[in-house]
């Protein structure tokens, strides 16, 4: 799979910037264990620059450039990003495959979903305009009430390695659609395509500071981002242990968090199901993305009365 790994810096305030401490981390192809490049390693000093850039992006032109701009204006950028991702789909999929180790076909589908996600949130951004200042009916005519939807502010987004660009997009796209400014910290194990998202944003002219991307280690880049007083919310997908630390850090400032943490997702087999199909889809779910997925169907909850491998299930109806 011939593809050149670009050499990138941190993406801060619409520009590529070398980490202040000039640190970099190797990129290891999990299929061959070969070093195929390197990524910049952000530290607390770089987090300070990114947060400052994000806050400037929200206040620029009294917010009219982004935070209080019409949703339709933000939607244009989201659609431009989607178009550019689609244009680079083959290249991005190859980079994803050699970075996180998933089969190329699955990586292609992921990149297609990335473009679709930006399109989806572009539609929602446009829909926000019609919902602004929606009146709320009150029993007393002397009072007026309406709903005003506002961005929460600067958001820190910390994402995992198994769906590097797609899971980042699940957080980036809604943040931008809502009018927030974002700082993305992808997993140090798979950051290539997230840095390419920065290049896409630069090419489409996304306003400086609206999206900043910091690669690096969790303790050195993720922790200072999660605990920064000028970050208004943290969204994290990853392990329960790290999620607990993020929640504890956010609690010191009563900062809202969104956490999607580890678990063991079951497949539920009801009484009237076709068991052959259930077995087929269970196997599919177990081995999709090589099993490295939060919704892997590696645990079954089966309706009492089914016969599995010659055993009639009565009360003990969980199969590991």
**Per residue in 55-75, pLDDT tens?**
999 999 999 999 999 999 999
Pairing between strand 299-302 and 318-319?
Answer: antiparallel
Comparing C-alpha atoms, which of 183, 189, 193 is closest to residue 94? 193
**Residue 231 falls inside a structural domain:** yes
Q: Could you give the residue numbers annotated as active site? A: 260
**Residue 24 falls inside a structural domain:** no
Residues 254 and 200 in one domain: yes
Residues 83 and 180 in one domain: yes
Quote the mean pLDDT of the chain: 92
Q: Which domain holds residue 310?
A: 266-315
Residues 98 and 205 in one domain: yes
**Residue 139 falls inside a structural domain:** no
Q: Are 160 and 238 in contact (CB under 8 A)?
A: yes
**Per residue in 205-263, pLDDT tens?**
999 999 999 999 999 999 999 999 999 999 999 999 999 999 999 999 999 999 999 77
Number of domains in the chain: 2
Backbone conformation region of residue 259, classed left if phi is above 0, alpha if psi is from -120 to 50, else beta: beta
Residues 171 and 243 in one domain: yes
Residues 48 and 190 in one domain: yes
């Amino acid at each position: 799979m011939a593809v050149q790994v670009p050499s990138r810096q941190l993406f801060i305030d619409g520009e590529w910037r070398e980490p202040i401490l000039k640190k970099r981390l190797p990129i290891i192809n999990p299929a061959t264990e070969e070093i195929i490049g390197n990524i910049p390693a952000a530290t607390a000093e770089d987090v300070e620059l990114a947060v400052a850039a994000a806050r400037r992006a929200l206040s620029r032109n009294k917010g009219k450039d982004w935070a209080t701009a019409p949703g339709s204006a933000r939607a244009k950028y989201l659609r431009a990003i989607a178009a550019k991702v689609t244009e680079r789909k083959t290249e991005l999929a190859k980079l994803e495959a050699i970075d996180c180790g998933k089969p190329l076909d699955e990586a292609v589908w992921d990149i297609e979903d990335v473009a679709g996600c930006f399109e989806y949130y572009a539609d929602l951004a446009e829909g926000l305009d019609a919902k602004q200042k929606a009146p709320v009916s009150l029993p007393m005519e002397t009072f007026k009430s309406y709903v005003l939807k506002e961005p929460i502010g600067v958001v820190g987004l910390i994402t995992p390695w198994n769906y590097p660009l797609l899971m980042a997009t699940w957080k980036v796209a809604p943040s931008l659609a809502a009018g927030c400014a974002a700082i993305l910290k992808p997993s140090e194990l798979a950051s290539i395509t997230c840095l390419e998202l920065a290049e896409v944003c630069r090419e489409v002219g996304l306003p400086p500071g609206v999206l900043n991307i910091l690669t690096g280690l969790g303790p050195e880049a993720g922790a200072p981002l999660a605990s920064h007083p000028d970050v208004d919310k943290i969204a994290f997908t990853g392990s329960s242990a790290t999620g607990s630390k993020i929640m504890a850090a956010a609690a010191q400032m009563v900062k809202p968090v969104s956490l999607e943490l580890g678990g063991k997702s079951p497949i539920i087999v009801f009484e009237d199901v076709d068991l052959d199909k259930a077995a087929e889809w269970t196997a599919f779910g177990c081995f999709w993305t090589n099993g490295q997925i939060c919704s892997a169907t590696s645990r079954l909850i089966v309706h009492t009365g089914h016969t599995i491998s010659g055993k009639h299930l009565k009360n003990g109806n969980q199969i590991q």
